[in-house]
Structure 1
Amino acid sequence: MCKHSPTCPNAEAADHEAAKAVLRDDVTGFARLCNGVILFNDTGELLPDGTPIAPHRSGHVRQAAAA
């Protein structure tokens, strides 16, 4: 699918998120990568074969203090 040079990683590669976005919709919160992966703003993913990948944010997330 990819026509970039160098070629982007395919959907099965460990670094598949490094592929370039060919379609982005910031209103609905997703990007379609050239390898067919759909990447959501919450870091969840949908692979071309329909396999979902749960959100996997990096870093620490602060919890709100209980009142």
Structure 2
Amino acid sequence: MCTHTPRCPSADSPDREAAAVVAGHPEQGWSLLCNAVVLFEDTGELLPDGKVVAPHRPLAAAA
């Protein structure tokens, strides 16, 4: 359970990436968030129930 104030968004919330980082490993390209989501540097996610969220980094604007 989250002990932050205000509480971190749950793993099934649309703003789940706003949860606090509890274990950051930038050298490996991932962070564990308070809501048990593993967030990868390419913006992909692994949810606590095992579901995968594909990377959703915005595309570069056409020049």
TM-score scaled by length of structure 2: 0.91
Q: Deviation per CA, 1:40-59, whole angstroms, max 9, x where unpaired?
A: 00110000000000000024
**AA at the equivalent of 2:53:** I
Structure 2: tracts of 5 or more residues without a match: none
> Within the alignment, does 1:38 sit opposite 2:38 as a pair?
yes
Q: C-alpha distance in 2, partners of 1:52/1:23?
A: 19
Tell me the number of residue pairs that the alignment of Structure 1 and Structure 2 aligns. 62
Q: Determine the structure 2 residue equivalent to 1:65.
A: none
Q: Deviation per CA, 1:12-51, whole angstroms, max 9, x where unpaired?
A: 1010000010000011110000000000001100000000
Q: C-alpha distance in 2, partners of 1:24/1:61?
A: 30
Alignment of 1:1-67 (within 5 A): 1-60=1-60
Superposed structure 1 runs of 4+ greater than 4 Å apart: none
SS of structure 2 residue aligned to 1:22: strand
RMSD (CA atoms): 1.4
Is the alpha carbon distance of 1:29 and 1:15 closer, same or farther for their aligned partners in structure 2, counting shifts above 3 Å?
A: same
Structure 1: tracts of 5 or more residues without a match: 63-67
**AA at the equivalent of 2:48:** P
Q: Report percent identity of matched pairs.
A: 52
Larger Rg, first or second structure (1 or 2): 1
